[in-house]
Structure 1
Amino acid sequence: MRALLIVNPNATSTTPAARDLLAHALSSRVEVRVVTTTHRGHAAELARRACLEGVRLIIVHGGDGTVNEVVNGLLGAPEPDTMSAVTFGPTPLVAVVPGGSANVFARSLGIDADPVVATNQLIELLELRERRRVGLGHCDGRWFTFNAGMGFDAQVCEAIDASRANGHAATPGRYVRTAVRAFLRNRRLAPTLTVQAPGHEPVDGVHYAFVSNSSPWTYLNARPVRVNPKTTFESGLGVFAMRTMSLTTTLRLIRKMLTPGAQLKSAKLFRTDDVPRVRIRSTVPIGLQMDGDYIGMRTDVEFVAVPDVLTVVAPARA
């Protein structure tokens, strides 16, 4: 089997040693070529070319942003109105060996966060021919694999992107500090969002909203943070929309997000699972993020769930 190993050398936890170990281990199972990304969007270009060349397996060694680029390179721009018009065609299998800071997509699929352990896991999965078909979300002309959001979390992603550009690693501690500062800055601002989901009345007065394609929403070190616990790669989208910036309410919900099995309920929280689409509008331009990458300012975004669109090398769903 011909395989392409795409390595992002700037991802938080990728190293030349891990890259070489991964390439050596894979060479015993597949015919692997290693390519290192050099610029933003490069992983998408490499994935698109590999698909045209008939490569059957793409292994991503990097963070969630690199995975997102590869997925978008393989599937192309999604059709916003009717997914039946999209021709996906045969695409390579996708495997991920974590190399970023959170690695949400890989870990949500049951891939170990440690690159060395994940390498051995990948070899075993290839040997057993383990495959899993997953659904994705899309909005704003792009695919996202595990989450997207408007407002507060987009501001955090924008700040982290700027911090990375200045040479600072995207550690969990930096995310927490950045999130606290962003929350405090926004506490006294008026809400601007309205959320529309099928089967529900429009919800206005929303400060920020998360849209999930899987659970957890992210990880805090080894601890999963669950905002839409029932959302899976096989379901529709989950929606978490906050109508308050109260510190007491927020801290109470954060505690529940970090507690397995806790019920996320609040009079100021709109939450729903398994919706095929959701539309979020803002009275002023507000930030949009996808898979942890800041996209830009938007006023009207529709998020759509697309089932069974990508085949990944991963353990069978538990």
Structure 2
Amino acid sequence: MRAVLVVNPHATSTTGRRRDLLAHALASELRLAVEQTNGRGHASELAARATEAGADLVVVHGGDGTVNEVVNGIMKAGTGTRPMIAVVPGGSTNVFARALGVDPDPTGATEQILEALAERRLPRRISLGLADDRYFTFNAGLGLDAEVVHAVEEVRGSGRAISNSLHVRKTLRHYLTGHGRTARLTLELPGREPIPGVHLAFVSNVDPWTYWEKRAIRTNPGTTADGGLGVFALTSMKVPTVARVVGQLLRSGEAPPRAGALIREDDVPSAHVRCSEPVGLQVDGDYLGTRSEVRFRSVPGALGLFGPPAETDTPAAGD
């Protein structure tokens, strides 16, 4: 099997020694080429090149951003049959990989790939989300979360370390200073009348939406990588509403959050958000600037995920 290992050497939890061990282990079973990224967008170029060259498998060693770039490179390649993907987590959160049952430890994830090869396991077909022309693997959002992602990216760009606590501080700061307190969005879902007065909208491709340390934050527990998109939106940003919803998101269990100002739908094929003024958009934790409208849609069975068996993809409650 022809494979390309795409490595982000600057990913949070990777080291040179770990990369060498990973490459050596995979090369024992695959015809492997190793490529290292050198900046933003390079992983997408490498994945597109691997697709056009006829690779059977692209292994990604990096965080959520690197995985997103590889997926977009594969999906947008001009020619060639789409290769399977496998993920060896190397970032700080690794939402997509963890949601699909990939071992969070790079050694364990590598063993999953080798076991799948030994067992001649077929890849699992997974859906992707599409926000206009950008594919996403786990979530996209308009409003507060995008503004927080932008603020965190600025911190990262200064060379400072990022953490879950930094995300919380930035979220509180933006919320308390009034960012996103004006309802600027109108949400359109299939079979429903347009819903005006929306403050923020999250669109998920998998469950959970993200993680707080080891705890899964589940906006749409009924969303899976085998089905459509999950939509989560708020028509109020008043303190009681936000406190109630956040409290439900942080609790253990699989019960979906509920509130009068909460719009929540699972397994929808598409969603359209129109904005009365430009609003920030993030895709898989990557800030894409402001948008006046965004069309989201599900792309069923878009890629083959190689490695973990399908039955391990649902996170345990409270994980």
SS in 2 for 1:135: strand
Amino acid at match of 1:34: V
- Counterpart CA distance in 1 for 2:180 and 2:106 is 42
- Percent sequence identity over aligned pairs: 50
1:173 is aligned to: 165
- Counterpart CA distance in 1 for 2:120 and 2:23 is 19
1:160 is aligned to: 152
1:119 is aligned to: 110
2:290 to 280, 289, 297: 297
1:23 is aligned to: 23
Amino acid at match of 2:298: A
2:255 is aligned to: 262
1:84 is aligned to: none
Distance 1:188-1:194 versus aligned 2 partners, 3 A rule = closer
Per-residue deviation at 1:116?
Answer: 2.0
Per-residue deviation at 1:203?
Answer: 1.2
Amino acid at match of 2:35: V
Per-residue deviation at 1:189?
Answer: 3.0
- Counterpart CA distance in 2 for 1:21 and 1:151 is 41
Q: Which moved more, 1:187-196 or 1:131-140?
A: 187-196
- Counterpart CA distance in 1 for 2:294 and 2:179 is 23
Q: Does the 8 Å contact 1:278/1:304 carry over to 2?
A: yes
- Counterpart CA distance in 2 for 1:177 and 1:13 is 23
- Counterpart CA distance in 2 for 1:188 and 1:219 is 22
Per-residue deviation at 1:122?
Answer: 2.1
Consecutive unaligned residues in structure 2, runs of 5 or more: 312-319
2:317 is aligned to: none
SS in 2 for 1:186: coil
2:45 is aligned to: 45
Q: Does the 8 Å contact 1:187/1:246 carry over to 2?
A: no
Per-residue deviation at 1:315?
Answer: 2.5
Residues 98-120 of structure 1: per-residue CA shift (max 9 Å, x gap): 01111011111100112122222
Consecutive unaligned residues in structure 1, runs of 5 or more: 78-86
Q: Does the 8 Å contact 1:101/1:172 carry over to 2?
A: no
Per-residue deviation at 1:188?
Answer: 7.6
Alignment size in residue pairs? 309
- Counterpart CA distance in 2 for 1:172 and 1:124 is 33
- Counterpart CA distance in 1 for 2:180 and 2:281 is 20
Structure 1 outlier segments of 4+, above 4 Å:
none
SS in 1 for 2:93: coil
Amino acid at match of 2:266: D
Q: Does the 8 Å contact 2:115/2:307 carry over to 1?
A: no
1:286 to 276, 279, 285: 279
- Counterpart CA distance in 2 for 1:19 and 1:103 is 17
Per-residue deviation at 1:248?
Answer: 2.5
- Counterpart CA distance in 2 for 1:112 and 1:182 is 34
1:95 is aligned to: 86
Q: Does the 8 Å contact 1:110/1:314 carry over to 2?
A: no
Per-residue deviation at 1:89?
Answer: 5.3
2:33 is aligned to: 33
1:129 to 120, 145, 155: 120
- Counterpart CA distance in 1 for 2:279 and 2:223 is 25
Amino acid at match of 1:162: E
What does 1:224-239 align with in structure 2 at a 5 Å threshold?
Answer: 224-239=216-231
Q: Does the 8 Å contact 2:51/2:80 carry over to 1?
A: no
TM-score, normalised by the number of residues in structure 2: 0.93
Distance 1:107-1:41 versus aligned 2 partners, 3 A rule = same
- Counterpart CA distance in 1 for 2:227 and 2:158 is 38
Q: Does the 8 Å contact 1:5/1:61 carry over to 2?
A: yes
Q: Does the 8 Å contact 2:143/2:180 carry over to 1?
A: no
1:80 is aligned to: none
2:314 is aligned to: none
RMSD: 1.6
- Counterpart CA distance in 2 for 1:311 and 1:37 is 23
- Counterpart CA distance in 1 for 2:229 and 2:291 is 20
Q: Does the 8 Å contact 2:235/2:261 carry over to 1?
A: yes
Per-residue deviation at 1:169?
Answer: 2.4
1:151 aligns with 2:131: no
